[in-house]
Amino acid sequence: MDILFHDVVIVGAGLAGLRAAVELAGSRDVAVLSKLHPLRSHSGAAQGGISAALGNAEEDTSLWHAYDTVKGSDYLADQRAVQVMCNDAPRAIIELEHLGVPFSRLPNGRIAQRPFGGHTRNFGEAPVQRTCYAADRTGHVCMHTLYEQSLNHGVKFYDEVQVLDLCVTDGTVNGVVAMELRSGRLLLMQARAVMFATGGYGKAWKTTSNAFANTGDGLGIVLNNGFPLQDMEFVQFHPTGLYPLGILITEAARGEGGVLRNGEGERFMERYAPTIKDLAPRDIVSRSIYEELKSGRGAGPGKDHVLLDLTGLGSDIIASRLPEIESFARVYAGIDPSREPVPVLPTCHYAMGGIPTTVNGRVIANAAGDEVPGFWAAGEAACVSVHGANRLGSNSLLDLIVFGRRCGKDIAMWLERAGAAPEVGSGVLERVRDGIDRLLGNRNGEKVPELRADLQRLMMDQVSVFRHEEGLKNAVSELMELQRRSRCLGVSDTSRQFNQELTDAIELQHMVNYSLAVARSALERRESRGAHSREDYPDRNDADFLKHFLCVMDGDGAMRLSERPVDLSLAEHNPVFVPKKRVY
């Protein structure tokens, strides 16, 4: 085993991790671990844009942005965190521009902005052009820019290195254990500060827009170490995944003027959100699509999808503003989107829940709000709760940039005051070695593909857009059985170099554990709120469920729930932020 020392170890090379690294680079010894090459991180797949009330295209304010974010979250977002994010958004965009992000431009030279679902002016009056973009490759260009800046400022990258566990001594996080995929050797990386920016976990569902690497490793490791996850029941299905593959068709397609039509050619969103129609929040649009299908108004021979009609935009607009969407439609569906509608269906897209943190990214240890010394998190793996029960489109990149930077700043201040990290104990190393030896030594055990297929089917059937008591109870029961089976996984490939079967098995064990947290939290939340839609409890219930659920895994694998209050601090001073029925 190799032992390495750094001031800061950041796990994950997406935009949250890179932004924190850029903030710390030059003054601290910063290492970034990624199981991929950094430029393959899933942040690069973000298409439509990044929100900020710049007011370049029309009047806009950060207060309107905060209102839309809180309302879109179905009032479960922590309002101080929302205020921090929305107030910082204009500065963050200008900073990205100065770092080199090539945003699309208006004729007057200012950064271009487009409408996006759920973003409005004057507290819901009408759609507003708030989302800054670079054609439909916004995440891609932001990734390249921050990666170049990280290299330029001396950040040390460990590519194709997979984190396996946290080092925790006397309650303080002081490093990670990882595996170099090329050689299979273990690395003990000691650090004074550790940040998780490990991304989302959509691969637990069969149909998803997530990359194959989005297996939620960070969340599984957090559970294994007795730390909580928050709001795990809220998983967003993007309304327009390319049918039947689930590849993302960005909301920018509707922001540019595309409309959803059912099999009868009707623009059906006028029925569900008469004011902003196709630009309603994603949870509403996804449920509306399924309502059309249940009513027999789907498209195609099986009436099992709807149509995204971009034909009114014209080929020039599509080619200049939505080039990736044009390419996806042609390559994967054999369709020219300027001539015929694109078949779409909701696809598992984004996780609102994750590792609970403060607005400075410090990981929260329990319902009392105590912090875990030496441990930070940001991005989709984290839950600072700016998205609550439902994230608005183009708020995700903003979340990564704003809170990635805040993590970097807070870590720098921590390091100025903190002493040397405590020495890493031998227990974590023994646990990692035992886990790997058990997988490699059980050649006749459960096979990864079969168990993973069972998990993804179960989550898609019972824990997706619509949920109910019987299905969730069944899901919890089946997941506990899958959890038992995952402890019996076997690996037939005993080599150490690029052993994909071994890493798949490790990832799958994490997937089963946090999936149980999702199902258990969804069963407990007996209401419908945001992306969590209970057919047996169709109404939102603020009296009993305006609260966050924390989920901790006991030693036997069972999930124990506790509660945290929702921060309603803006509502104390401004009545527009008081929870009320969402109307679009």
What are the DSSP calls for 470-496, one per residue?
HHHHHHHHHHHHHHHHHTTB--S----
Q: What are the CA-CA distances from residue 298 to residues 150, 237, 265, 284 (Å)?
A: 48, 18, 10, 17
- Residue 371 in this model has a pLDDT that exceeds 80: yes
Mean pLDDT of 26-38: 95
Q: Quick one: three-class SS letters along 197-233?
A: CCCCCHHHCCCECCCCCCCCHHHHHHHHCCCCEECCC
Rounded distance between C-alpha atoms, residue 380 and residue 350, angstroms? 8
Mean pLDDT of 53-65: 98
Q: Which residues are catalytic?
A: 282
DSSP H or E run through 520: helix 500-524
- Residue 187 in this model has a pLDDT that exceeds 80: yes
**Would you call the peptide bond into 107 cis, given omega within 30 degrees of 0 as the criterion?**
no
Take residue 161 and report the two structure tokens written for it: 């290195």
- Residue 138 in this model has a pLDDT that exceeds 90: yes
Mean pLDDT of 522-543: 98
pLDDT of residue 521: 98
pLDDT of residue 425: 80
Mean pLDDT of 167-193: 96
Do residues 472 and 519 lie in contact, with contact meaning Cβ atoms separated by under 8 Å? yes
pLDDT of residue 410: 98
Average pLDDT, the chain: 96
pTM for this predicted structure: 0.95
Rounded distance between C-alpha atoms, residue 299 and residue 306, angstroms? 5
Rounded distance between C-alpha atoms, residue 462 and residue 472, angstroms? 6
* Terminal alpha carbon distance of the chain: 57
Query: Beta strand pairing status for 50-51 and 382-383?
Result: unpaired
Rounded distance between C-alpha atoms, residue 258 and residue 313, angstroms? 7
> For a pLDDT cut of 70, what percent of the chain falls above it?
100
**What are the tens digits of pLDDT across the range 374-411?**
999 999 999 999 999 999 999 999 999 999 999 999 99
Mean pLDDT of 498-524: 97
**What are the tens digits of pLDDT across the range 417-465?**
987 877 888 789 999 999 999 999 888 899 999 999 999 999 999 999 9
Closest CA to 204 of 560, 489, 479, 499: 479
- Report the b/e string of 305-335 with b at 16+ CB within 10 A: bbbbbbbebeeeebeebbebbbebbeeebeb
- Residue 55 in this model has a pLDDT that exceeds 90: yes
Rounded distance between C-alpha atoms, residue 337 and residue 308, angstroms? 9
Residue length of the chain: 584
Mean pLDDT of 244-271: 95
CA 410 to chain centre: 22
pLDDT of residue 206: 95
Mean pLDDT of 37-55: 96
